[in-house]
Amino acid sequence: MGMTRKPHLLFHPRHVLSFRHRTVAALLMATSIVLLLVGGSMLTFLLTRPPDHNKPVLSRQIMAPVAGPEAHTITMLGQHYMHALVQGDSQKVWSMLSPQEQAHWHHAAAFGTYLKARFADYHLQGFTLGQVTIRPFWVNPETMERFDQVYQLPTSLLMNVQLPPDQLRQLAPPFQQPDQLFQQIPLLLQRIPGVPAHGVRWRLLNAGPADIEAPMLPPIHPMRRIVKVPILMYHHVSDIPPQNVLDRSLTVSETLFRHQLDVLTAKGFQSITLNQLMAALYYQVALPPKPVILTFDDGYDDAYFSAYPLLKAHGFSGMFYIITGKVGWRGQATWSQLRDMLDHGMQMGSHTIHHVDMGSTYVTSKLQAEQEAHISQHMLQQNLHTIIQHFCYPNGGPFKGSNRSLQQAVVALLASTGYIDATTDPGPTGIIQSSQAPFALLRLRIDGRFSLPFFENTIQTDTT
């Protein structure tokens, strides 16, 4: 609680200020008031301005512009592709995708069903294209396959919501203006190897704004759907000896983590992204037979030095929930490290600015809870140049309690900010994920004191 200075202490007769001193004091007070007002205005600006999505997604590498006939060919391909997408010609869109991308869908009809469901509440009006650039490589986060010498064509969709006004108001503000989300989404192309230079052919490595990893558009009335997906919850992956009981529970050694990944590999698990999970819940997209999501809370630097290299070596992606106010602190990952992880197939989500319990914070100050959700998202988007739609509750609040109305209030806050899902901190645990509860996705906490057989038994038990 702040202390209020009483007037009689400031103007006691033994300390009467001279006219000059009173003038200086008045100027200092006026300056303080101005600074407070400016600070408040800046905070209001951050909270009310739309997210800056005008930077290309997945464009953290140094890229060189491409000109001449090559750029013209790529632009023409992009125009044909985007025209087919806007016209709803799913068969043509499908035919232009690479064999690797088509393999996600098994057949064209499945892709067409997905495409129709993805934009069901929206009318695609047109598109614009940006400048062709070349990037050194791209890693597909869904397969962890790397492609070198990739050409990038930024695409922007012109679209609006085709819902009656009463239903439109039920959409969160970011989804009422979807044009803001679908700006500069990359369409990624690569030369087909082995084709002579005079007969250059190209393949599309992703589906651009129609890709599962592009921004998600939650349906206003999602179908009831349940999938079994274990979401594993980690904190530290480190060989530094834990100092106390809490640290021992939160720290998995590098050796144990490597063995756990070996177990997942041997049992046929395949990592998926949060976007893939939501596409399964919302659009009925098929998942691998044994999907798993690996999540890492708090953004420690051992996420970069220990967890991330082991994930890459095993061909697994991971979701890292970042406390934005601590990025670059001692023991925390830096922005450049987080960007490097993103470039190599990892994903990022918000874990608030200060690692606050969202339930108790909302009760104390709804404004502060809004700041924790909105500004952390804004900071991640500004520094990582990617859309942030995933959230994780620090300490599990409000879902460790039973206050249903508080849970609904926090969920409404997150949805209004543009998040599409949130993971819990057990408390509630399990592997059943529901389209009716996207902001209460369940996780399995991986305790550092677990033996490898215990881990193996947990995974086996929970996925049968």
Q: Tell me which fold the domain 64-210 belongs to.
A: Nuclear Transport Factor 2; Chain: A, (3.10.450)
* Confidence category of residue 232, pLDDT binned at 50, 70, 90: very high
pLDDT of residue 169: 85
pLDDT of residue 349: 98
| Average confidence (pLDDT) over 354-361 | 98
pLDDT of residue 170: 83
Q: Where are the domains of the chain?
A: 64-210, 226-462
pTM for the full predicted model: 0.86
Token pair of 163 as six digits: 């819902």
> Taking Cα atoms as reference points, which of 138, 152, 148, 146 lies closest to residue 64?
152
Predicted confidence (pLDDT) per residue in 180-205, tens digit: 899 999 999 999 876 555 555 899 99
For residue 127, give Cα distances in angstroms to 87, 221, 308, 371.
11, 27, 36, 33
pLDDT of residue 200: 58
* Confidence category of residue 167, pLDDT binned at 50, 70, 90: confident
pLDDT of residue 8: 34
pLDDT of residue 315: 98
Would the pLDDT of 285 be above 90? yes
Would the pLDDT of 26 be above 70? no
* Confidence category of residue 2, pLDDT binned at 50, 70, 90: very low
Which stretch, 14-18, 31-35, 258-262, has highest mean pLDDT? 258-262
To the nearest whole number, what is the mean pLDDT of the chain? 87
CATH code of the region 226-462: 3.20.20.370
| Average confidence (pLDDT) over 114-129 | 95
Would the pLDDT of 29 be above 70? no
| Average confidence (pLDDT) over 38-50 | 41
pLDDT of residue 383: 97
Question: What percent of the chain is predicted at pLDDT more than 90?
Answer: 74
